[in-house]
Structure 1
Amino acid sequence: MAPDSSKTPRYAVELALLAALATLWGASYTFIKLGIETIPPVTLIAGRTIIAGAVLLVILRLRGITLPRDAASWRNFAIQACLNSVIPFTLIAWAEKSVDAGLAVILNSMTPVFTFLITLVWSRHEPTTFRKMAGVLIGLSGTCVIVGAQAFTHIGQELVSQLAVVLATVCYAGAAIFGRNFKDLDPMAPAAGSLVAGAAMLIPVSLIVDRPWTLSPSASSIMALAGLAVFSTSIAFAIYFRLIRTLGSVGTTAQAYLRAPIGVAIGAYFLGERLSSSAWIGLACILVGVALMTIPRREKAPVPKLA
């Protein structure tokens, strides 16, 4: 049967949005690198959550959706905030003081692998297949190549920073699993609620640790913060939740293996970064591992029975 030509333009739009999502999330690491030049990590992430949360609240208001007000929901929002923004955002921002943006995006692309491992050990709500296990092993090998190369060279700030990015990736994996608690809410509601909760946690820390009124951020850092909050967080979330509805969760995970090379390319173009040979090998392993875990197997067409 010939494909429905009326659906082709719409599908092309969704694919374009998928590429845009991967680009926005890939660019976040370069935004962070530029932001932390004159803005401390905690204050940068506090600003990111405040601005992004405010934008999402406006979007929810325009859609006529209100956030729940019960204590249980906000307790879950707070837990989600710790796993999905407060801890990982801050760890990555701190790590990028000594780690290239391109390397950070490569290590952070391991989220599907750690999600699978946590699922295997803890909730076991997804089937374990040989294909997924192969993807896990190959992806972990890529991470070991990157981090191990630094460990064998010398133990220093860069190694600790790489491990911080890996820890942030584990937090993202935990957030993906904990996010199942919000299945009764509009998908954008927990995103907004968790960002608001995260801002409430980070603002006091920023005021005490960084005293932001004493800072003198550069114009490039302020623009990077705005881009990070508006484009790589608010707009990216809006696109993500649309794709969940149109392409489905499996189709949307394609951004996981698009984001890494796009993020590396953005860092190379705007920051002049160059990857080491071990980083290239690790990138290849991680991309193959994530692809094995996220690209669905093509089902064989049934053999027609003879009359």
Structure 2
Amino acid sequence: MKSAALYLATVLIWGSTWLAIEFQLGDVAVEVSLFYRFAIAAILMWAFVLMKKLPMHYSLRDHGFFALLALFNFGLNYLVLYWAQNYLTSAMASIAFSMLLLMNIINTRLFFAKPIAKRIYFGALLGVMGIASLFWPQIQQFDLSNGALVGLLLALSGTFVASLGNMVSVRNSQRNIGVLQGNAWGMLYSALGLAAYVLVSDVELTLNAPSSYWVSLFYLAVFGTVIAFACYFALLKNIGPERASYVIVLFPLVAVVLSTLFEGFEWQANTFMGFSLVLFGNAIVLTPTRQIKAFFAARNLQQKSSVPS
């Protein structure tokens, strides 16, 4: 029941954050928006861990990994994904981000020497075919000046960076570092890093933005960052990155529904094909071979029993 609640919270929140990000684009520089987001999140996280009197003292090596967590999971990945949504609808960006599942499995193999099951290659092929189908009109007219193709490349780059951050989180869990403590340090380092970047760059630190910007900002900071990451990293710790990655299969469904309702996202033939292939490929990757065999065995038995003698 605890894992189910964590799944549900993560899917609903992260599925809706893609639409909320749309309200962050245009009025305020992306770097500044991310600084605001993680500064708010860091303040809330530290207030909570201090109130709970959780242990916060770690080795210098651990702080190095907290800095990597900040860079990969709370900084660079979001910066690139925000850029991607300048070219893509929230639905398309979330579907591209679902490739995180495949990247997590490959990186788990590379960093933690965990073998890759044969079915994963087939699931990965379907996922790649799905992405190709979604962006087929742009691929046919291959041109880096094409907005959708640029958005896809940015979304996949940000997804890969996020996968590296997931590996850092797994390492921290193996070191018995609490999810809340690791997130608190990571968000603090992220806010400090983004503040330094804003100070040395020529972007303007502005507060002049419509109310929709501030509402979406607080939603992203409180729910999309503090609560969702706590739920997801708890899943990583409790059941491992492969099973926790089921949320990646489900939250694009939420994002696509919201994009269809509020952004006027239009479904084309290649959209149906690509979305189906991505979901089916991810489901195959996440379903153990024994469960697949058991499913077909039960189906064959049912068919035989229904045939009159």
Q: Give 2:279's aligned amino acid.
A: L
Q: Deviations over 1:168-212 (max 9, x none)?
A: 111112222233321221122222221111111111222333221
**What is the total number of aligned residue pairs between the two structures?**
287
**1:209 alignment partner, one of 202, 205, 211:** 202
Equivalence for 2:167: 177
**1:81 alignment partner, one of 43, 60, 70:** 70
List gaps (5 residues or longer) in structure 1: 1-10, 301-307
Equivalence for 1:28: 17
Equivalence for 1:153: 141
- Does 254-263 or 202-211 show the bigger shift? 202-211
What's the CA shift for 1:83?
1.4
Aligned partner of residue 221 in structure 1, secondary structure: helix
What's the CA shift for 1:69?
4.6
Determine what percentage of the aligned residue pairs are the same residue: 21
Supply the distance in 1 between the matched residues of 2:237 and 2:66 (Cα, whole angstroms): 22
Task: Indicate if the aligned counterparts of 1:140 and 1:286 stay in contact, CA closer than 8 A.
Answer: yes
Task: Indicate if the aligned counterparts of 2:169 and 2:233 stay in contact, CA closer than 8 A.
Answer: no
Supply the distance in 2 between the matched residues of 1:117 and 1:18 (Cα, whole angstroms): 22
Equivalence for 1:236: 228
Equivalence for 1:68: 57
Supply the distance in 1 between the matched residues of 2:71 and 2:24 (Cα, whole angstroms): 21
What's the CA shift for 1:37?
3.2
What's the CA shift for 1:123?
3.0
Supply the distance in 2 between the matched residues of 1:160 and 1:220 (Cα, whole angstroms): 27
Equivalence for 2:34: 45
User: Normalised by the size of structure 2, how large is the TM-score?
Assistant: 0.84
**1:129 alignment partner, one of 117, 122, 136:** 117
List gaps (5 residues or longer) in structure 2: 295-309
What's the CA shift for 1:219?
0.7
What's the CA shift for 1:137?
1.3
Supply the distance in 1 between the matched residues of 2:112 and 2:6 (Cα, whole angstroms): 31
Equivalence for 1:272: 264
What's the CA shift for 1:298?
5.0
Identify if the C-alpha distance between structure 1 residues 45 and 275 changes in structure 2 by more than 3 Å, giving closer, same or farther.
farther
User: Normalised by the size of structure 1, how large is the TM-score?
Assistant: 0.84
Supply the distance in 2 between the matched residues of 1:137 and 1:227 (Cα, whole angstroms): 35
What's the CA shift for 1:234?
0.8
Equivalence for 2:297: none
Aligned partner of residue 128 in structure 1, secondary structure: coil
Supply the distance in 1 between the matched residues of 2:169 and 2:5 (Cα, whole angstroms): 26
**Superposition RMSD in Å:** 2.3
